[in-house]
Chains A and B, each alone.
Chain A
Amino acid sequence: MSSGFGYLAFAALANEQARAQENPLAPKTGHFPARAKRIIYLSMRGAPSHVDTFDYKPQLTKDHGKAGKYGSTRGAMLLKSPWEFNQHGQSGLWISELFPELAKHADNLCLLKSMQTDQPNHPQATLQMHTGSFQFVRPSLGAWSLYGLGTENANLPGFVTLNPFGSAQNYGSAFLPAIYQGSKISGASRRQSGRNRDNALKIPNIKSENLNREQQRIYLDYVQSLNQSSLEKKVHQPGIEGVIESYELAFRMQDSLPEQVDLSGESEETLDLYGIGNNPTDAFGKQCLLARRFVEAGVRFVEITHSSGWDHHRNLKNDMEKNCSEIDLPIAGLLADLKRRDMLKDTLVIWAGEFGRTPHGQGGDGRDHNNKGFTTWMAGGGVKGGFNYGATDEHGYEAVENKMHIHDWHATILHLLGLDHEKLTYNYAGRDFRLTDVHGQVAKEILA
C-alpha cells in the first residue's frame, strides 16, 4: 500500500498540475472510451420479487395453485402474481401495473432477467452484490470505480452512499487505499417530510461553533502534522492514511456539502417531478433528487437505498403495493430529469435488489428468497433501452438463458465505465486482485 499521498497531495502541493499527478482522486481515463461517466445505484434492500415486477410469467398464472417442481422447494404451491402485466413503449416491454410511471420510460430500460447470485441470505448476498465476494473482505464496486476513474469534484466524496443499510463493507475500500471508500451520508430523517427543501439531509457537525475558517485550517494543519509524524514512525498504516484523508475531505465538505443537499434552488416543477412533498413518494423522491445533484456536481458513484425493505415473506400484496408506490414516481422523475438535462446518455442508472423471490408462495401471500433467478435493470449510460436480456424458466424460478451472475453484472458495469474488469487490478499480498476475481463475462448484447 502506498503511503502518505493523502496529506502530501492535499496540503503540500499547491499547484493544480502537480496535484493532478499525485492526487489519487484526479479524473482518469479508463481502458477504452466510457459509455457511462457516472453511476446512480438504486438499492432495493430485502430482495424484491421479480415475478411481480419485471419478469412476466403467464405460465405461473396458469399453474397457480399447482405444486412447483423446483429443487428443494418441490411441492410448494405456485403463486401467480396478483398484478397484471402490460406491454409498454415502442419496445413493448412487459411491466407490472405496480410501476405505472416507470413504465412510461420502458424504452429506456434494459431488463436483466437472468440474474444469479451465490447465496440466498440477505447479508451475504448484499455483500456479494457490492463487492463480488460474500465471504471475504473485498473492495466495493463504488470503490473500484473511483480507483479506476477518480472523481470530478475534489470538494465532495467521489463515492457517496445515502442512508446505507447493513455492513460498512458494502461501501468499503478493503485493501484499496481508504480514500476510495464510500462516504456514508445519513440523517435524512424518516420523520422529516414535506417540502422542507433546505433540509433534505441533516448533516451533523458540519460547522464549527468555535473557530473561524482560518483558525480551523491552522488546527487542521496541526492535526495533520501529528498524523504525519505517526505515519513516519509507523510505515504502512492504512488506518492513519485514512484518518489524514478523512480530515481533508471533511474540511472541504463543510462548504460544499450543505450547498449540495440544499434543495431550495430547485423549482416546484422539479419537486413535483420527483414527488417531493407528497406522500408516499417524498422520502425516496428526495434521495433521487439528491442523487441527481451529486452526479451533476461530479460525484462518480452514488448509491441510494430504499429504506422500507422488500423482504416479502408475508403481506406481499399490501407491502409490494406500498413499496412500489414509494419508488415508482421518483425513479420515473429521475429518468425524466436526467433525460432533459441530457445526462441520461452517460449516466448509468441501476436498479437492483440482492436476489429475487420464489414463484411459489409462502403462507399464501408471500414469497421466499430466490438466488437462482431474478431481475435487475439498467438505464442510460450506454445500454440498450427497451431491451430484455436473459430469461428465467416458465415460472421464474431459475435463470435459463444468458445467465448473468453477479460477476458478469460487475464486469458489464465496469465495461460501461470504460474499464476492463480483467485489467482493473490492485496488487495486494503478492497478488493482483480484481472485482470479478477470476470470473466475469461482459454482456455485450446489452451495449447500445
Chain B
Amino acid sequence: MIFVMRPFYFLLVVWICSFAVVNSQEEKLTSDQVMFFESKIRPVLADACYECHSNEGGRVKGGLALDTREAMLLGGDSGEVLIPGKPDESLLWIALSYTDPDYEMPPKNKLSPDIVADFRKWIEMGAPDPRVSETVVVKSEIDIEEGKKFWSFQKPVKPNTPKVKNADWPGSDLDHFILSKLEEQNLTPSSKADPETLNRRLYFDLTGLPPTPRQQDEFLSAWKTNPEEAIESTVDQLLASPQYGERWGRHWLDVARYAESTGKETNMTFPHAWRYRDYVIDSFNADKPYDHFLSQQIAGDLLPAKTDEIWQENLIATGFLAMGTKGLNQDNGRQFTMDVVDEQIDTMTQSVLGLTVACARCHDHKFDPIPTTDYYSLAGIFLSSTTYFGTIRNAQNKRPSDLLILPVPDPVGPQISDSELESLNDRLTSMRRELIQLRQDRNNAKGNAAADALRQSIRTLTQSQVLQARINGYYEDGTPKTFAMGLQQNDSPVEAAVLVRGEVDKPAQVVERGFVQVLQHAETPTIESSSGGRRELAKWITSKESPLTARVMVNRIWIHLFGKGLVDSPDNFGTTGQLPSHPELLDYLAVRFMENDWSVKSMIREIVLSNTYQMSSDFDSANYDQDPENKWLWRANPRRLNAESIRDAILAVSTSLDLDPPRASPIANVGDVRVGIRVNEEMINRPTTYRSVYLPVVRDMTPESLALFDFAEPDTVRGTRESTNVPSQALYMMNNPFVTTQAKLMAADLVKSHETSRDRILDAFRRCYGRAPTRSEVENTIEFFKTFNASSQPGSNRLATSYLSMATFCQGLISSAEFRYLY
C-alpha cells in the first residue's frame, strides 16, 4: 500500500512503472563484434530462447522477447534484462549462469559453461547486436485544421434567442429555441401537464422517488394559489434534498462505469470502490461546480488542499480512473499497463469529451481527426502516474496493485486487539514455514506425492496471501487502515513511444505528453518536463474554451429530463455520432452552464422551470403523423422508470423504504476475494430496504432487480440506458418474493391506516400513480376483489383470503404499466 502525502511538499517513493524508451540509433559495429554475435550469441538465442521468448515464435513469456535488439533492450515484466557492459547487473547473464534460484534459464537445462562465458564476454563488450530493425516512425495523414471545422470541435457561442410567432408560449429563452423549431416544422406544442402528472414527474426526475399522497396534496394546494410558485418551491425543495444526489449521482456512476469488482476472467472485488460512489453522491448534493468535480477526478491527488479532509476527498475522486475493468490474468506486464492506460483514456475521453479517442490506439482514428500520436501523447500522461486499485495476488491474479492509504481515518471494520493481530501474524508465519517445507517435499517426492505437495502449496500460498492482505489492513496497534483506489504521479514523468498497431513490442517514435490536437484551444496549458501532465490535462478539459466539456454534460442532463438527448449519441460527439437536433439550444445551454459556474443544479432548475419540460405527454395525431419520434419535442416523452426507481418506488409505496444511506457496501464487508464463492448470486440479491444506488455493483453479477430493468452494465461509459418490456420482467413482478413481500407490507399498512376499503383503494392508487383512480378503475378494482375472494380455496380462512386479496391488489398496482411509466 501507499502512504500518500500532501501535494507540493512531499517526496513520494513509489516504484515507477517505467516504460522504457528504445534508442533505435544504430552504432557502428566492428566486424569482430558482428562475427562474435553471429557465431556465439545468435545461434544460442535462436536455439535455446526463442521458443518461449520471441514475437516470431509466438510466445513472449514474462513479457520478454529476445528476437530483436529493441525487444531485448526493452526487457520484460521483471524489468531490464540486458545492461550493456554490466553482466552482473544483467538479468540475462544471472539467469543463464544459474546464480539466482529464482531466475534460472533455460529452465532445467543449464547451458554449457563455455556458452555462459560467451554471454558474459558479449555483455562486457557492450552487447553489440547487429540485428537491425527499421527505425519506425508512425506518420499521420490527418489534416487537423480541416478536422477543426466539424461542429463539435468549435467552441460554443451563445446564439441569439430566436424569434417566434406564438410569443405567449415561451416562458424562458430555452422555450424560444424549442418553439421556433416547432413552428418551422408546423408543429404545435402540447398543453401544460396537469399538476399531478407534473409533480410526479418532478419527484422522479429530481429524486428518483414518487411523491407521497401528502406531498401531492401540498403541491396541489399550492398550485391552486399560484402554479409557478408551487413548481418553483417544489423544485428548490427537491434539489436541496439528499435524495437528489442519490438520483443524479447514479447518473454519473453510469458514465463513470462505477463497479466494485474488476470484471473479466478473474473478477476480483474492489472493496473500497464505495468511497468513490459516496463521493459522487455528496458532490451532486453539494452542487460542486462541474469543472472542479472533473478536476478532482482527473487530478485530485495533485490539487492543493488546505485541509486533510479536502485532500482526502481529492484522493478518493481519482478512483474514477482506477476502477475500470482489469484483465488480471495478463502474463505480460507491459501489456497490462498499456491496457489500463487505454481504459483510462477511453473512459475519460468518452465520458467528459464525448470522443472515442481510444480508437486511435492502433492507428489513426478512422473517422475523427485524431492521429494515433495524440493517443500516445495522452498515454504519456497516464504512464507518468501509477494506478492503485488493490486486489490480492493469486493464481489467476498476476497483476495486483497497492492501494492508497487515506490521511483521515475512516475505516470500515472494527479495531482488533494486539493479541488478535499477533495471532494473525503467527498464523502467517506458520503458513510460510509450511510453504518452505512443502517446497522441499516437492523436490524430494515423485509422481503423485509431488503433485499432492504442489496442490497443497498452491492452497497454502493462496491462504497466506489472503491472510497477508488482511494483516496489511491494520496498523501495528490493530487500528484498521483507511484505503481508497486512485492515482499517484510518479517521480519521473515519461514520454510514451507510439506503438505500431498498438503492439507493445513494436515501439516507434517517442511523443511528448500532450492533448488531443483538434481540441487545442486558447487556454491549452503546456506540460513542463517535470510534470506528469494530469494537472494540465484537467485544466485543459475544464477550461471554458474547451468546445466539448460543457456541451457533453448539458446533453447528459437533458437526457435525464427528456428521455433522449439533443445529441442522440451522448458518448460520441464525433463524426460518427448523431448531429444535434437543436444545435443553437445546445450551445445556449452549454454557455449558460459555464456562466453559472458549472452548477448542475442551476442547469436542471432552468430546464425544469421551462414550459418545454412542463408540457403534457398527450397524444396529438397531427403532430404525431409529422414527427412520430418527437424529435422536435411537441410533447413530453412518456418514459419508463429506470431500474433503481422501480425498486425504490416499490419500497416507497409499501412504506419500507429506508432513506438512511447504509455504511460502505456489502462488498467492503467481504473484502478482497474473487467473485464467485463468498460474493455470489444469493449475497448480491439479499433483500434490503435502502435505496438502490447502494446495492452492490459487481461486474457480471448485477442484482436481479436492476439487471432485469436495463441497468447500465458497468463495463464501459454508458450515457443512456435501454428501456425494454420483456416477459422476464413480467415474471419478476408476478412471482418474485421481493415484490410479493412488499405488496403484503403495503397491504398491511393500508389496512392499518384506513377503516374503509374505499379509502384503502384511494390511498393505494395515489401512492402508486400519484393520482386518484378513475371511476372505471374503481369498478374494476371492486370487481377484482369480488372475483378474487370468491376464488379462495374451500376451507381457507376468510381473513387470510381478504388479506391476500388486498396484497394481490397492491401487487397488481405495482405490476401495472403506469407504476413504471412517467407521463
- Residue ID in chain A nearest B505 by CB atoms: A363
Decide: A364 near B58, CB < 8 A? Known: A205-B735, A210-B740, A218-B784.
Answer: yes
- Residue ID in chain A nearest B631 by CB atoms: A429
Decide: A172 near B54, CB < 8 A? Known: A204-B731, A223-B815.
Answer: no
Decide: A225 near B576, CB < 8 A? Known: A235-B619, A250-B730.
Answer: no
Number of interface residues of B (CB under 8 A): 71
Decide: A223 near B816, CB < 8 A? Known: A168-B724, A208-B734.
Answer: yes
In the assembled complex, how far is the CB of residue A318 from the closest CB belonging to chain B, in whole angstroms? 10
Residues on B with C-beta less than 8 A from A223 are 812, 815-816
Decide: A363 near B619, CB < 8 A? Known: A225-B780, A234-B823.
Answer: no
In the assembled complex, how far is the CB of residue A121 from the closest CB belonging to chain B, in whole angstroms? 8
Complex Cα gap A243–B792 (Å): 27
Complex Cα gap A76–B366 (Å): 18
Complex Cα gap A428–B788 (Å): 42
Residue contact A364 to B638, C-beta cutoff 8 Å: no
Decide: A246 near B726, CB < 8 A? Known: A135-B576, A239-B638, A429-B628.
Answer: yes
- Per-residue A-contact encoding for B750-781, CB less than 8 Å = 1, 0 else: 00000000000000000000000010110011
Residues on A with C-beta less than 8 A from B475 are none
Residues on A with C-beta less than 8 A from B792 are 215
Residue contact B54 to A226, C-beta cutoff 8 Å: no
Residue contact B780 to A226, C-beta cutoff 8 Å: yes
- Per-residue B-contact encoding for A48-90, CB less than 8 Å = 1, 0 else: 0000000000000000010000001100100000100000000
Residues on B with C-beta less than 8 A from A448 are none
- Per-residue A-contact encoding for B716-751, CB less than 8 Å = 1, 0 else: 000000111111111110111100100000000000
Residue contact A242 to B725, C-beta cutoff 8 Å: yes
Residue contact A220 to B734, C-beta cutoff 8 Å: yes
Complex Cα gap A247–B804 (Å): 21
B55 sits at the interface (CB 8 A):
yes
In the assembled complex, how far is the CB of residue B355 from the closest CB belonging to chain A, in whole angstroms? 15
Q: Which of the 9-residue segments A145-153, A176-184, A290-298, A386-394 touches chain B?
A: A176-184
Residue contact A240 to B821, C-beta cutoff 8 Å: yes
In the assembled complex, how far is the CB of residue A169 from the closest CB belonging to chain B, in whole angstroms? 7
Complex Cα gap A228–B736 (Å): 23
A91 sits at the interface (CB 8 A):
no
B158 sits at the interface (CB 8 A):
no
- Residue ID in chain A nearest B503 by CB atoms: A363
B791 sits at the interface (CB 8 A):
yes
Partner of B730, one of A214, A229, A246, A428: A246
- Residue ID in chain A nearest B774 by CB atoms: A229
Residue contact A364 to B727, C-beta cutoff 8 Å: no
Residue contact B791 to A214, C-beta cutoff 8 Å: yes
B798 sits at the interface (CB 8 A):
no
Residue contact B788 to A219, C-beta cutoff 8 Å: yes
Residues on B with C-beta less than 8 A from A244 are 817
- Residue ID in chain B nearest A228 by CB atoms: B780
Residues on B with C-beta less than 8 A from A429 are 628-629
Residues on A with C-beta less than 8 A from B131 are none
- Per-residue A-contact encoding for B781-823, CB less than 8 Å = 1, 0 else: 1001001100111000000000010011101110111101101
CB contacts under 8 Å to B, within A150-195, are: 157, 167-169, 172, 178, 181, 183-185, 191
Residue contact A181 to B724, C-beta cutoff 8 Å: yes
Residue contact A205 to B501, C-beta cutoff 8 Å: no
Decide: A227 near B817, CB < 8 A? Known: A234-B619, A253-B727.
Answer: yes
Residues on B with C-beta less than 8 A from A402 are none
**Residue from the set A234, A254, A363 with the largest chain B CB neighbour count within 10 Å:** A363
In the assembled complex, how far is the CB of residue A128 from the closest CB belonging to chain B, in whole angstroms? 13
B56 sits at the interface (CB 8 A):
yes
CB contacts under 8 Å to B, within A193-233, are: 203-212, 214-216, 218-223, 225-227, 229-230
Residues on A with C-beta less than 8 A from B813 are 226
B535 sits at the interface (CB 8 A):
no
- Residue ID in chain B nearest A124 by CB atoms: B576
Complex Cα gap A403–B20 (Å): 45
Residue contact A240 to B817, C-beta cutoff 8 Å: yes
Residues on A with C-beta less than 8 A from B731 are 203-206, 250, 253-254
Decide: A239 near B723, CB < 8 A? Known: A218-B788, A364-B55, A430-B625.
Answer: yes
Complex Cα gap A223–B729 (Å): 14
B624 sits at the interface (CB 8 A):
yes
A368 sits at the interface (CB 8 A):
yes
Partner of B727, one of A183, A208, A230: A183
Residues on A with C-beta less than 8 A from B812 are 219, 222-223, 226
B704 sits at the interface (CB 8 A):
yes
Complex Cα gap A203–B730 (Å): 13
B159 sits at the interface (CB 8 A):
no
Complex Cα gap A207–B729 (Å): 13
B216 sits at the interface (CB 8 A):
no
**Residue from the set B504, B619, B625, B818 with the largest chain A CB neighbour count within 10 Å:** B818
Residues on B with C-beta less than 8 A from A181 are 724, 726
Complex Cα gap A387–B816 (Å): 52
In the assembled complex, how far is the CB of residue A139 from the closest CB belonging to chain B, in whole angstroms? 13
In the assembled complex, how far is the CB of residue A37 from the closest CB belonging to chain B, in whole angstroms? 23
Residue contact B722 to A168, C-beta cutoff 8 Å: yes
In the assembled complex, how far is the CB of residue B729 from the closest CB belonging to chain A, in whole angstroms? 6
- Residue ID in chain A nearest B765 by CB atoms: A226
In the assembled complex, how far is the CB of residue A265 from the closest CB belonging to chain B, in whole angstroms? 24
Residues on A with C-beta less than 8 A from B727 are 157, 183, 246-247, 249-250, 253
Residues on A with C-beta less than 8 A from B737 are 209
Residue contact A73 to B734, C-beta cutoff 8 Å: no
Complex Cα gap A208–B816 (Å): 17
Residue contact A65 to B817, C-beta cutoff 8 Å: no
Residue contact B724 to A229, C-beta cutoff 8 Å: no
- Residue ID in chain A nearest B779 by CB atoms: A225
Residue contact B780 to A76, C-beta cutoff 8 Å: no
Residue contact A222 to B818, C-beta cutoff 8 Å: no
In the assembled complex, how far is the CB of residue B186 from the closest CB belonging to chain A, in whole angstroms? 14
Complex Cα gap A277–B504 (Å): 40
Residue contact A222 to B735, C-beta cutoff 8 Å: no
B640 sits at the interface (CB 8 A):
yes
Complex Cα gap A244–B730 (Å): 9
Residue contact B640 to A239, C-beta cutoff 8 Å: yes
Q: Pick 26 A–B contacts, CB within 8 A, sort by A.
A: A65-B56, A203-B731, A204-B736, A209-B737, A210-B804, A215-B804, A219-B734, A226-B817, A227-B817, A227-B818, A229-B774, A229-B777, A229-B780, A230-B816, A237-B817, A240-B821, A242-B724, A243-B820, A247-B727, A250-B734, A251-B734, A253-B731, A363-B505, A364-B60, A368-B362, A428-B628
Q: Given known contacts A181-B726, A221-B784, what 5 new A-B pairs fall within 8 Å (CB)?
A: A240-B817, A240-B821, A363-B55, A363-B504, A430-B625
